[in-house]
A and B are shown apart, each in its own frame.
Chain A
Amino acid sequence: MSQIALKAGFDDSVHDSQRVFRALLDAMSRPGRIVTPSPPPELPAALHPATAAVCLALLDFETPLWLAGPDIAETRAWLAFHAGCPFVATPEQAAFALVTDVAALPALGDFALGSDEMPERSTTLLLQVGRLVAGQGQRLSGPGIDGTAWLDVDGVTASFWTERAAACALFPRGLDVIFTAGPALAALPRTTQVED
């Protein structure tokens, strides 16, 4: 019988997931704040530590995942085993989309943006980027931000910001984004306004 050399997940799945969820909650409620959730001890080569932590905390059998990026076979097997999430073929069917390389990101309009009655049915985008720096780059304002905050996301193109603004102009429909880079993550909910 053939075997995939699977890597282990969280040591203590319940409490480790809860800690990651708490970190993510901080990031979501304070857009632009960079947090570092504690990652699982082993992770697939294609995932950053923060991405792996978020995946194990958020994904389960009720969250269809759309996965894109280079060399994702190991990631797919690892998530299927530890998270048990179903995989979907198109981004619009997904509750979560995991894009391990910005180059593989489709147009943001391809994701589910929810409906006016059920805006929560939108896709939450997990995007791995090169680097996250707070205090410079894009100017953020909106709920959860006292005045303004700055976040520099290395690797995303100008068209990403235009497409995001277009998607979030449909409020309450829109797209929530979680950026991960190495051990760090920052979140950009649909309510945050972004300017250059």
Chain B
Amino acid sequence: MQSATVPTDSPETAARQRWMAVLARAETAELEAAWAGLADKPAYRLLRKPEVGLVMARGRVGGAGGAFNLGEIAVTRCAAQLADGRTGFGYVGGRDVRKCELAALFDGLLQDGARQSALLASVIAPLVAAQEARKAETQNDAARTKVNFFALERGEDAK
């Protein structure tokens, strides 16, 4: 594959990784609304229809701990080819095939330099904001039940 020649640490790759991650974390309804709000939807066909498979998620305990298999998670993947020949890929957690298809379509559109900045502002930025709001809410919920322990001076050591 020619695309494999793009170095993994190039700025384009990093930018694409970022938007693909945002698309994968988005809610289906959000992506559906963004797609509906798109002014000129491209014609497309699916090179690889959305298919669900299992991926082994690995974890690590502590900095020195060895990696261990946490368990398998469902992942859906899809490849969509747009009318201009660009191919968008969607890899999303879960079994939502429509979400995966939409993620692939947006990935394809975002590779178009002419539309990229407009789409980053109109689609990706609101998704990031919504995801950060959800994350903050979860953190707030957790913080409310946080218990702080203090070591009280009991007197026997005090001389």
Contact = CB atoms under 8 A, between A and B. Distances in A.
A6 B2 contact: no
B51 A13 contact: yes
A6 B51 contact: no
Contact of B1 (A4, A9, A82): A4
Size class of A's contact patch? 10 to 19
Contacts of A11: 49
Nearest to A77: B1
A1 interface: yes
Contacts of B47: 6-9, 81
A8 B49 CA distance: 9
B4 to A, nearest CB: 10
Contacts of B111: 1
B26 to A, nearest CB: 23
Nearest to A7: B47
A4 B85 CA distance: 8
A82 B48 CA distance: 8
Contacts of A5: 85
B86 interface: yes
Contacts of B1: 4, 77, 80-81
A13 B12 contact: no
A8 B46 contact: yes
A159 interface: no
B8 to A, nearest CB: 13
A6 B49 contact: no
B6 interface: yes
Contacts of A9: 47-48
A102 B99 CA distance: 46
Given A77-B1, A80-B1, A3 B48 contact: no
B87 interface: yes
Interface in A100-125: none
A157 interface: no
Contacts of A82: 48
A8 B45 contact: yes
A81 B12 CA distance: 22
B81 interface: yes
B3 interface: yes
A13 B6 contact: no
Given A6-B81, A6-B87, A1 B3 contact: yes
B51 to A, nearest CB: 7
Given A2-B3, A3-B3, A8-B46, 19 more contacts: A1-B6, A1-B12, A2-B2, A3-B85, A3-B87, A4-B1, A4-B2, A5-B85, A6-B81, A6-B87, A7-B47, A8-B45, A8-B47, A11-B49, A13-B51, A77-B1, A81-B47, A81-B48, A81-B79
30 contacts: A1-B3, A1-B6, A1-B12, A1-B111, A2-B2, A2-B3, A3-B2, A3-B85, A3-B86, A3-B87, A4-B1, A4-B2, A5-B85, A6-B47, A6-B87, A7-B47, A8-B45, A8-B47, A9-B47, A9-B48, A11-B49, A12-B49, A13-B49, A13-B51, A80-B1, A81-B1, A81-B47, A81-B48, A81-B79, A82-B48
Q: 3 shortest A-B CB distances, which residue pairs?
A: A2-B2, A8-B47, A6-B47
